[in-house]
Amino acid sequence: MSQRSWRRMQGWGAALAFLLAMALLSGAAAAQPEVQWPDLSGVSLTVAAGAVGQELQLTKEAAAAFSELTGAKVDVLETPDLATDRLGLYLQYLGARSPDIDVYQIDVIWPGILAEHAVDLSQYVPEEEIAQHFPAIIENNTVDGKLVGLPWFTDAGLLYYRTDLLEKYGYDGPPQTWQELTDMAKAIQEGERAAGNRSFWGFVWQGNRYEGLTCDALEWQASFGGGSIIEPDGTVSVNNAKTAEALNLARSWVGTISPPGVTTYAEEEARAIFQSGNAAFMRNWPYAYALAQGEDSAVAGKADVAPLPSGGAGSAATLGGWELMVSTYSRNQEAAAWLARYLASYEEQKRRAVIGSFNPTIEALYEDPEVLAASPFMGSLYDVFTHAVARPSTVSGDRYNEVSTAYFTAVHQVLTGEATAEQVLPRLDSELKRIMR
Partner 1 sequence: MVIDRPEPLLLEEAATGGRGGVTLAARQARLGWLLVLPTLLVLVGVALYPLVDTFLNSLTNARLGSSRAVRFVGLANYKDLFSDPVFLQAVGNTLYFTVVSVAAELVLGLLMALVIHSRFPARGLMRAAVLVPWAIPTVVSAQMWRWMYNDVFGVLNDLLMRVGLLDAPVAWTASPGLAMNAVIAVDVWKTTPFMALLLLAGLQVIAGDLYEAATVDGASRIRQFFSITLPLLRPAMLVALIFRTLDALRVFDVVFVMTAGASGTETVATYNRRILVEFQQLGYGSAISMVIFLIIFLFVLLYVRVLGVSEE
Q: Residue numbers of the site for partner 1 (CB under 8 A)?
A: 82, 84, 87-88, 91-92, 94-95, 113, 116-117, 199, 201, 208-210, 259-264, 272-273, 278, 398-399, 401-402, 405, 412, 416-418
Beta strands in 275-409 (DSSP E): 279-284, 303-306, 319-326
Minimum distance between the CB of residue 263 and partner 1, rounded to whole angstroms?
4
Q: Which is nearer to partner 1, 273 or 384 (CB)?
A: 273
Q: Which is nearer to partner 1, 375 or 396 (CB)?
A: 396
Q: Which is nearer to partner 1, 242 or 412 (CB)?
A: 412
Minimum distance between the CB of residue 402 and partner 1, rounded to whole angstroms?
5
Q: Which is nearer to partner 1, 314 or 417 (CB)?
A: 417
Q: Which is nearer to partner 1, 204 or 317 (CB)?
A: 204
SS (H, E, C) 113-163: HHHHHECCHHHCCCHHHHCCECHHHHHHCEECCEECCEEEEEEECEEEEEH
Minimum distance between the CB of residue 101 and partner 1, rounded to whole angstroms?
13
Minimum distance between the CB of residue 427 and partner 1, rounded to whole angstroms?
9
Q: Which is nearer to partner 1, 265 or 346 (CB)?
A: 265
Residues in contact with 367: Cβ distance below 8 Å, sequence separation at least 6, in sequence order:
21, 24, 25, 28, 379
**338, 65 in Cβ contact below 8 A?**
no
Closest CA to 328 of 123, 103, 130: 103
Closest CA to 401 of 430, 426, 423, 432: 432
For 405, counting Cβ atoms within 10 Å of its Cβ (0-12 exposed, 13-18 middle, 19+ buried), the class is middle
Q: Which is nearer to partner 1, 39 or 418 (CB)?
A: 418
Minimum distance between the CB of residue 262 and partner 1, rounded to whole angstroms?
8
Q: Which is nearer to partner 1, 308 or 415 (CB)?
A: 415
Minimum distance between the CB of residue 435 and partner 1, rounded to whole angstroms?
9
**155, 137 in Cβ contact below 8 A?**
no
Minimum distance between the CB of residue 259 and partner 1, rounded to whole angstroms?
5
Exposure string for 195-212, b = 16+ CB within 10 A, e = fewer: eeeeebbbbbbbbbbbbb
Minimum distance between the CB of residue 237 and partner 1, rounded to whole angstroms?
22
- Angstrom distance (rounded) from CA 241 to CA 238: 9
**Amino acid at the residue 75:** D
DSSP 389: B
Closest CA to 273 of 294, 255, 290, 259: 259
